[in-house]
């Protein structure tokens, strides 16, 4: 895990991270002034996102005051700020869709079991996690088990949850079945590899070629990937041919890459598109539709969460994911912890450069 920034800052950050681990940590007094990232117009995140001091008003009776601890920068956050995402928040807006915080204060009419010191993640979309302190209705946060490491807690709600739902909800896949995916080194892709391995499924993982392809293949294989191939290797790979043909394809990239994984599906297979990283449409070969009767579906975690706002299945899913994480079967993606004040660095590193993305950027407060 890389910790970037000035050496003094690195020391503070390490001490802070150590502090976060202990259950005996004291709840700090809150002065009423927090710091938020804000954007007033859609555009290039590095230009439109600024840091502001914010006065946090008094706590209402049904609210909790949360001190944010960690929040990732996901592609959807970037696209939302750019104004090209399906969700367009009213401006000015505080970005950040997921993260983990600690409850500092609990309103006197809050009926849930929330206590100061509990760790929580947002239940609602676009809570605005890129701020040091947030007031939220108690029903808008979910208490998580103690002892979950900070990065896992901050990143569980979007990507591992998406992977989990796509593996469970579309095709009744069972142990020994094969799942194929592109964008396999994305955070979602890495969660797919690990959850599928825990469920006894085999995975064919397609990634873009790069100079460090050997290391990437080793890394994904270490997570439990059955086969890792580049886009150019997919059609010819003997290892892929030796596996049962997949009934489920998970499409992060779309464009040509999506077409290639669609071609691998068994008749009546299903391709679930959840990302368009290539910015190209999904193109289905006519033969795949006519002769193989494949189905094209889409998945959006935000919609699933809205439809399952307080459904027990949502808590069940999170429980299972936390259990996998605590059992060492679900590790967070490769990441860099970035102090909140260095948010510009996190935004810069979260933007694709020469088409390749680096490590997941995680803001630490
Ligand atoms: N539908 C949903 O509910 C849902 C939920 C979560 C995420 N998503 C979407 O899933 C995608 C991945 O999210 P993430 O957080 O897992 O991302 P991430 O960890 O930042 O990884 C991004 C992935 O996209 C690939 N990529 C980037 N530019 C590309 C291009 N031009 N052509 C092909 N591949 C490219 C990267 O591969 P390289 O290493 O080769 O650059 C990497 O595998 C995003 O589109 C995100 O919006 C959707």
In the chain, where are the structural domains located? 2-156+335-364, 161-302
Q: What is the pLDDT of residue 13?
A: 39
Q: What is the pLDDT of residue 357?
A: 56
Between strands 248-251 and 360-364, the pairing is unpaired
Paired tokens of 178? 């094969």
Closest residue by Cα to residue 188 from 148, 213, 223, 222:
223
Burial class from Cβ neighbours inside 10 Å (0-12, 13-18, 19+) for residue 72 reads buried
Report the separation in Å between the CA atom of 183 and the middle of ligand 1, taken as the mean of its atom positions. 6
Q: How far is CA 5 from CA 53, 123, 130, 336, in A?
A: 22, 32, 18, 11
Q: What is the pLDDT of residue 28?
A: 54
pLDDT, tens only, 104-158: 999 999 988 899 999 999 999 889 999 999 999 999 999 999 989 999 999 999 9
Q: Which atom of ligand 1 is found nearest the CA of 182?
A: 43
Q: Is 182 in the pocket of ligand 1 (CB under 6 A)?
A: no
Average pLDDT, the chain: 91
Closest residue by Cα to residue 97 from 72, 62, 120:
72
Element (H or E) spanning 343, and its range?
Answer: helix 343-350
CA atoms within 13 A on the CB side of 346: 30
Element (H or E) spanning 314, and its range?
Answer: helix 312-326
Residue 60 pLDDT greater than 80, yes or no: yes
| Closest C-alpha to ligand 1, atom 27 | 277
Q: Is 274 in the pocket of ligand 1 (CB under 6 A)?
A: yes
Higher pLDDT, 87 or 318: 318
Q: Is 186 in the pocket of ligand 1 (CB under 6 A)?
A: yes
Q: What is the pLDDT of residue 30?
A: 83
Residue 25 pLDDT greater than 70, yes or no: no
Q: Is 101 in the pocket of ligand 1 (CB under 6 A)?
A: no
Among 357, 359, 360, 361, name the best residue to mutate to test ligand 1's pocket (greatest count of ligand atoms within 8 A of Cβ). 357
Report the separation in Å between the CA atom of 253 and the middle of ligand 1, taken as the mean of its atom positions. 7
* Mean pLDDT on 256-271: 98
pLDDT, tens only, 171-221: 998 999 999 999 999 999 999 999 999 999 999 999 999 999 999 999 999
Q: What is the pLDDT of residue 265?
A: 98
Residue 14 pLDDT greater than 80, yes or no: no
| Closest C-alpha to ligand 1, atom 23 | 186
- Would the CA dihedral through 141, 21, 78, 133 be positive or negative? positive
CATH architecture of 2-156+335-364: Alpha-Beta Complex (3.90)
Among 72, 73, 75, name the best residue to mutate to test ligand 1's pocket (greatest count of ligand atoms within 8 A of Cβ). 75
Report the separation in Å between the CA atom of 57 and the middle of ligand 1, taken as the mean of its atom positions. 37
Q: Is 322 in the pocket of ligand 1 (CB under 6 A)?
A: no
Q: What is the DSSP letter of 117?
A: T
Sequence-distant (6+) residues with CB within 8 A of 77 are: 95, 96, 97, 130, 350
Q: Using alpha carbons only, how large is the chain's radius of gyration in Å?
A: 21
Q: Which atom of ligand 1 is found nearest the CA of 208?
A: 40
* Mean pLDDT on 337-342: 98
CA atoms within 13 A on the CB side of 183: 26
Sequence-distant (6+) residues with CB within 8 A of 206 are: 180, 181, 182, 183, 184, 229, 230, 231, 234, 257, 260, 261
Q: Which atom of ligand 1 is found nearest the CA of 274?
A: 1
Report the separation in Å between the CA atom of 120 and the middle of ligand 1, taken as the mean of its atom positions. 26
Q: Do the Cβ atoms of 48 and 42 come closer than 8 Å?
A: yes
Q: Is 195 in the pocket of ligand 1 (CB under 6 A)?
A: no
Question: Which neighbouring-strand residues pair with 275?
Answer: none
Q: Is 273 in the pocket of ligand 1 (CB under 6 A)?
A: no
* Residue 83: count of CB within 10 angstroms of its CB: 14
Q: How far is CA 320 from CA 129, 173, 213, in A?
A: 24, 18, 32
Q: What is the pLDDT of residue 272?
A: 99
- With bands split at pLDDT 50, 70 and 90, how would you rate the model's confidence at 90? very high
Phi, psi of 257 (to 5 degrees): -60, -40
Q: Do the Cβ atoms of 360 and 336 come closer than 8 Å?
A: yes
Q: Which atom of ligand 1 is found nearest the CA of 302?
A: 3
Angle 41-43-49 from CA coordinates, rounded to 5°: 70
Residue 23 pLDDT greater than 50, yes or no: no
Question: Which neighbouring-strand residues pair with 121?
Answer: 142
Report the separation in Å between the CA atom of 62 and the middle of ligand 1, taken as the mean of its atom positions. 37
- With bands split at pLDDT 50, 70 and 90, how would you rate the model's confidence at 356? low
- Rounded to whole angstroms, how far apart are CA atoms 199 and 189? 15
* Mean pLDDT on 293-310: 97
Q: Is 74 in the pocket of ligand 1 (CB under 6 A)?
A: yes
Among the residue ranges 232-241, 245-254, 355-364, the one predicted with the least confidence is: 355-364
Q: Which atom of ligand 1 is found nearest the CA of 188?
A: 16
Residue 358 pLDDT greater than 90, yes or no: no
Question: Which neighbouring-strand residues pair with 181?
Answer: 205, 250
- SS3 of 180, please? strand
Residue 302, sorted as left (phi over 0), alpha (psi -120 to 50) or beta, turns out to be alpha
Closest residue by Cα to residue 221 from 184, 257, 188, 253:
184
CATH architecture of 161-302: 3-Layer(aba) Sandwich (3.40)
Residue with tokens 């892929």: 240
Burial class from Cβ neighbours inside 10 Å (0-12, 13-18, 19+) for residue 143 reads middle
Q: Is 183 in the pocket of ligand 1 (CB under 6 A)?
A: yes
- SS3 of 106, please? strand
| Closest C-alpha to ligand 1, atom 33 | 278
| Closest C-alpha to ligand 1, atom 9 | 275
Q: Is 356 in the pocket of ligand 1 (CB under 6 A)?
A: yes
Residue 284 pLDDT greater than 80, yes or no: yes
Active site residues: 85
């Amino acid at each position: 895990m890389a910790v970037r920034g000035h050496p003094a800052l690195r020391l503070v950050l390490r001490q802070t991270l150590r502090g976060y681990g202990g259950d005996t940590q004291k709840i700090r007094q809150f002065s009423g002034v927090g710091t938020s990232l804000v954007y007033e117009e859609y555009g290039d995140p590095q230009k439109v996102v600024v840091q502001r001091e914010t006065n946090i008003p008094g706590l209402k009776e049904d609210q909790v005051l949360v001190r944010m601890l960690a929040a990732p920068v996901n592609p959807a956050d970037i696209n939302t700020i750019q104004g090209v995402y399906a969700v367009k928040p009213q401006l000015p807006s505080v970005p950040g869709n997921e993260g983990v915080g600690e409850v500092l204060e609990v309103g006197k009419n809050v009926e849930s079991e929330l206590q100061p010191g509990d760790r929580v993640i947002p239940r609602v979309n676009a809570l605005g996690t890129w701020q040091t302190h947030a007031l939220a209705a108690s029903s808008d946060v979910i208490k998580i088990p103690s002892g979950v490491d900070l990065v896992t807690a901050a990143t569980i709600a979007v990507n591992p949850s998406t992977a989990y739902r796509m593996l469970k909800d579309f095709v009744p896949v069972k142990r020994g079945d094969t799942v194929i995916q592109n964008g396999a080194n994305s955070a979602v892709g890495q969660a797919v590899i690990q959850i599928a391995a825990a469920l006894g499924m085999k995975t064919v993982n397609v990634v873009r070629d790069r100079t460090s392809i050997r290391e990437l293949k080793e890394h994904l294989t270490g997570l439990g990937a059955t086969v890792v191939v580049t886009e150019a290797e997919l059609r010819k790979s003997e290892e892929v041919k030796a596996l049962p043909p997949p009934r489920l394809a998970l499409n992060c990239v779309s464009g040509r890459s999506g077409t290639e994984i669609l071609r691998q599906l068994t008749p009546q297979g299903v391709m679930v598109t959840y990302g368009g990283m290539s910015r190209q449409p999904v193109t289905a070969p006519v033969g795949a539709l006519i002769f193989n009767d494949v189905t094209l579906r889409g998945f959006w975690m935000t919609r699933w969460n809205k439809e399952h706002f307080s459904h027990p299945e949502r808590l069940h899913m999170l429980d299972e994911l936390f259990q996998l994480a605590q059992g060492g079967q679900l590790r967070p993606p490769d990441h860099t912890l970035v102090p909140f004040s260095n948010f510009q660095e996190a935004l810069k590193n979260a933007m694709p450069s020469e088409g390749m993305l680096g490590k997941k950027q995680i803001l630490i407060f």
